[in-house]
A and B are shown apart, each in its own frame.
Chain A
């Protein structure tokens, strides 16, 4: 990996910098966690609704 990144170095420094910025991975991870937790909460919500309907 070290090789490929530095080989492209001369070609386009700006492009490399954008590729090297891994902030998107952090946003992706946070999004996955929140979507996952929200989906689970919606499931719980449905369960409560079911119980409410029966009582």
Chain B
């Protein structure tokens, strides 16, 4: 077997096998998937219902292996509501585990009294006695009740750094993010489509320049194959993105997003390339004109889908509004272990397909010249 010719095919096969298997079967980190109520009026003790996700140890930790059955059971730990604006928190150690719903129930005494506390959103954390914790940022709104004046305040002010909201414990599990939940795995399937498209179109641009420089017709045929398969990756990126957006952003195509508008314009430019190519019959004339066109549109395409969304403050995509897409808050270490192989694997696969198409086109050409 000739390794020089086949190495990227093996990389595609191994990377994608690893990414699809790992991406589908590795579990999510435990987290809070829901909360009730989401708005609290102070002045009395109230019960928070906290829905937990992927935390089988919660029951085991509190009760061992015994079958606890239905009902409500006291467990050791704390529920803490951390303020976003001022430094301080509400907390309670009265936590119960509900056997019938798998929920946590926390009784918290909310009294503002005469303390000056603004109405605002709080993040909710559950800290158990074994050091495990669950969190949900900006989950609950606390506002002052009208009759909340008589009793002393139960708000605990100025305990900063009491809980680290970004505590990193390396586990071979995917992060549990609000809204995304299990669909965080789509990072390995939807996002690399765009990486593959950019890689293929970039290579096509390179081969188009090569054609214009050296005038070899096979460079143009290869560039054309790369562009066609690049468009395939782009179309798959659009459709998978729509399916993902439907369940997370609640819309098939959130038209306000600059990245989507950029992609729509960019894809039209490349579809125009196909149209342009189909209207020209002389192979040399076709090669020259379409090469110039594809060299010309690639930088515009980059500007539309990479640079413009970055400059815009209101894109839903990560990495927009002046931030960097792959810093430590956006992509945790387990995700990286799968994301980078996914990008390499999908690029290699699409390159492979482009190569097949190029060889077929060459065969056809040879046949026509016979």
Contact = CB atoms under 8 A, between A and B. Distances in A.
Interface of A: 1-3, 5-7, 9-10, 13-14, 16-17, 20-26, 28-30, 32-33, 36-37, 40-41, 44, 47-48, 51, 54-55
Given A1-B250, A22-B183, A25-B243, A30 B20 contact: yes
A11 B103 CA distance: 14
Closest 3 CB pairs of A and B: A22-B183, A9-B36, A25-B183
Nearest to B38: A6
Interface in B42-64: 49, 51, 53
Contact of A22 (B180, B189, B367): B180
B311 interface: no
Main secondary structure of the interface of B (DSSP, over half): helix
A3 B193 CA distance: 33
B213 interface: no
A54 B236 CA distance: 33
A32 B243 contact: yes
Interface string B14-33: 00000010011000000001
B353 interface: yes
A14 B356 CA distance: 49
B182 A21 contact: yes
Contacts of A37: 232, 236, 349, 353
Contact of B103 (A1, A13, A32, A36): A13
A14 B53 CA distance: 12
Nearest to A3: B38
B182 A22 contact: yes
A48 B362 CA distance: 11
B189 A44 contact: no
Contacts of B363: 51
B232 A36 contact: yes
26 contacts: A1-B179, A6-B36, A9-B49, A10-B49, A20-B33, A20-B34, A21-B181, A22-B248, A25-B183, A25-B243, A26-B23, A26-B186, A28-B240, A29-B189, A29-B243, A29-B244, A30-B20, A30-B24, A30-B189, A32-B240, A32-B243, A33-B189, A36-B239, A40-B229, A40-B232, A44-B360
Contacts of B49: 9-10
Contacts of B246: 25
A54 B69 CA distance: 74
A26 B342 CA distance: 15
Nearest to B139: A2
B34 A6 contact: yes
B184 to A, nearest CB: 8
Contacts of B189: 26, 29-30, 33
B134 to A, nearest CB: 15
A40 B186 CA distance: 22
